[in-house]
Amino acid sequence: MAHGTPDYGVTAGSLTRYQMLDLGELAARLGSPDTHDRRGDVVWWDDAECGLAKWTNTPVGVNASFGLDTTRARNGRNSYKLRPGDAANDTISATHEQPISHMSRYGFEFSFSVDPNASVIQWWHRHFDGANLTDLIVEWKSSTNELACWIPPGVFLVFASGVFVFSHATLFNTGKMVVNAETMRYERFILNNVVYDLDQQSGVSAASALAPHHELIIRVFNVTGAAPTVWVDDIILTENEPANP
């Protein structure tokens, strides 16, 4: 008895293959860095394979540095190596400027590998609208295993504790901060397999006449004076992120 669908149908028989219905899956299989959380439309990404030209950096402290490194990578050959200065509270920041395409929910994602020294790693999204600047920051602190977000009047609010990140040369963890550019509020933060709902929290705003644009900043702190090293790979900016369920 005849069965199945026409040869061009999506269920046409095959023992070793299945027809692909999702173009996002096709992109992932062809090497896209956007594989951890595929929500939102990719506006810009950097896989650290094309040099340092997309970034400016601000080193603070003796021996603070930002550069390409081939000893660790999530994908490809390279990652960015961030090392703050030798003293406690020294930092290293890497900044990328991006125009605003339209007002929506934006996602700022990067993957990171850490050494055992105590550090603070920040996802920092600065939004300039022509009249105001809003800072939206999420940080992970390895010494306390806490996640916190930057809220008015300019303080960090701890929203998760017991957040452990494994340190290994071949392991890159992934964090993604989603913010609402229309309300200047946080939406959510994702760290590996855990999603944290932050949509009751606002960013910190101040007057600024700079033309509308985004600043994406990755910042690492030296916490104890034993300078940490953090490797960062697959940085992604998305727009049109969905609201929390």
- Reported as a single tens digit per residue, the pLDDT across 199-228 is 889 999 999 999 999 999 999 999 999 999
| CATH code matching the domain that covers 39-239, chosen among 3.60.20.10, 2.60.120.200, 3.90.320.10, 3.30.390.50 | 2.60.120.200
In three-state form (DSSP H/G/I as H, E/B as E, the rest C), the secondary structure along the chain is CCCCCCCCCCCCCCCCCCCCCCHHHHHHHCCCCCCCCCCCEEEEEECCCCCCCCCEEEEECCCCEEEEECCCCCCCCCEEEEECCCCCCCEEEEEEEECCCCCCEEEEEEEEEECCCCEEEEEEEEEECCCEEEEEEEEEECCCCEEEEEECCCEEEEEEECCCCCCCCCCCEEEEEEEECCCCEEEEEEECCEEEECCCCECEEEECCCCCEEEEEEEEEECCCCCCCEEEEEEEEEECCCCCC
pTM of the complete model: 0.87
Average pLDDT for the chain: 90
Residue 19 pLDDT: 57
Residue 1: pLDDT above 70?
A: no
**pLDDT interval class at 39 (50, 70, 90):** confident
pLDDT tens for residues 143-172?
999 999 999 999 999 999 999 999 999 999
